[in-house]
Amino acid sequence: MYTKKIYSAKAMALWTRFSTYQFIGIIVVWNAAYFFLELTWLKIPWTPLALIGTAVAFVIGFQNNSAYGRIWEARKIWGGIVNTSRTFGMYVQDLIDNENASIPLSAQALKNEMKILVHRHIAWMTALRYSMRAPKPWEIALSERTNIEWDLLPPEQEGDLEEDLRPYLQEEDLQYVMSKNNKQTAMLYRQSHHLRHLKDKGHIWEFSFLQLEGLLEELFTLQGKSERIKNFPYPRHFATLNHFFMWVFVLLLPMALVPQFTEIGQELKTGFPILSKYFAWFSIPFYVVVAWVFHTMERIGRTGENPFEGTANDVPISTIARGIEIDLRQNLGEAAEDIPAQFEARKHVQF
């Protein structure tokens, strides 16, 4: 646990180091101006700055609460996909049989029907996660300097949807799905048509058919909820103004902090003349800490606005989908060498 905390602190320091350099530069320039140009008249009282800081803190808190709410809702949605997928795999294995079939199928043929349904469901999850990772104009976290430097991209940014769907779909299915704009919706339509076909042949009892259709309806609901979060961003006027307000506070803060430290230094003039002369420079670490806290909290909220973008702190939908796939295919009795491995975590990050 102690090692993890050290790693987290190190990662946070690296993640915010460029902004930290900015804050050091800002406060050094202000101190130099006060010290060498004697701009003692350039100052503002603490009262208006405190009001601005309080307002910024409230807005940042609201943004962070909203961003966390979006992340938590996204996690619950994909948790629902996990549960519904496992139920679907169980129902497919237990509700498809020859009991009411006019023309019974062999055990291998029945198993093949189950495999087609399960693999199409895996293809649905693949199409859905690709859709959730598709870049949107308001998603800018991946383009930030630190994320580019670390080169942490989700599998969907490095893969190809059609090639990833090919192992799970028959050629007719693949061509039909790739011709549609919303490929995950097309997949569920094909599932429903397939289930109805099996019901018409008597391989699925009427009541069992309704249960399976109910699961498809639940998958449609979960898909719609996931798409809602993806396609409706955190309101831009809140996000943009919050960013501007934070920088107004950060840039005005030295005009109150440096004069305050200068006045404290004047009070030390009698007993500590040398310390008194340079005491204003002690404002540097205090300013950097305050500015870093406000900026980092605002950036955390900004980074968490889009939980499917594919950054290090987003919902790991690729890992979740691959975990479901492994469960379904293992319980379907497929050979271990045919089942893909889980996506590898990179720099302690799951996608």
- Look at 242 and 316; give whichever has higher pLDDT: 316
Residue 349 has pLDDT above 80, yes or no: no
Q: What are 126's two structure tokens?
A: 């693949």
* Most confident among 83-87, 141-145, 276-280 (mean pLDDT): 83-87
Q: What confidence tier does 111 reach under pLDDT thresholds 50, 70, 90?
A: very high
Residue 310 has pLDDT above 90, yes or no: no
Domain boundaries, the chain: 77-233+315-351
Give the number of C-alpha atoms closer than 13 A to the C-alpha of residue 163, restricted to the C-beta side: 5
Residue 348 has pLDDT above 70, yes or no: yes
Q: What confidence tier does 146 reach under pLDDT thresholds 50, 70, 90?
A: low
Q: What are 306's two structure tokens?
A: 């889009």
CB of 128 closer than 8 Å to CB of 223 = yes
Q: Between helices 107-133 and 206-231, what is the axis angle to 10°?
A: 20
* Stretch 290-312: mean pLDDT: 86
Distances 8 to 14, 238, 289 between C-alpha atoms, Å: 10, 29, 18
Q: Residue 146's closest CA among 300, 23, 14?
A: 14
The predicted pLDDT at position 286 comes to 92
* Stretch 212-229: mean pLDDT: 96
What digits encode the pLDDT tens for the residues 14-57?
777 888 899 999 999 988 888 787 777 778 888 888 898 899 89
The predicted pLDDT at position 17 comes to 83
- Look at 38 and 233; give whichever has higher pLDDT: 233
Read off the pTM. Answer: 0.87
Q: What confidence tier does 102 reach under pLDDT thresholds 50, 70, 90?
A: confident
* Stretch 255-266: mean pLDDT: 84
Q: What confidence tier does 135 reach under pLDDT thresholds 50, 70, 90?
A: confident
Q: What confidence tier does 2 reach under pLDDT thresholds 50, 70, 90?
A: very low
What percentage of the chain has pLDDT greater than the value 70?
Answer: 95
Mean confidence (pLDDT) of the chain: 87
Query: 336-349 b/e with 16+ CB inside 10 Å = b?
Result: eeeeeeebeeeeeb
The predicted pLDDT at position 1 comes to 41
Q: Residue with structure tokens 């490095």?
A: 158
Q: What confidence tier does 191 reach under pLDDT thresholds 50, 70, 90?
A: very high
The predicted pLDDT at position 8 comes to 67
Measure the N-to-C terminal CA separation of the chain; round to a whole number of Å. Answer: 22
Which has the minimum average pLDDT: 2-16, 198-212, 256-270, 332-346? 2-16
The predicted pLDDT at position 267 comes to 78
The predicted pLDDT at position 136 comes to 86
* Pairwise CA distance, residues 124 & 112, whole Å: 18
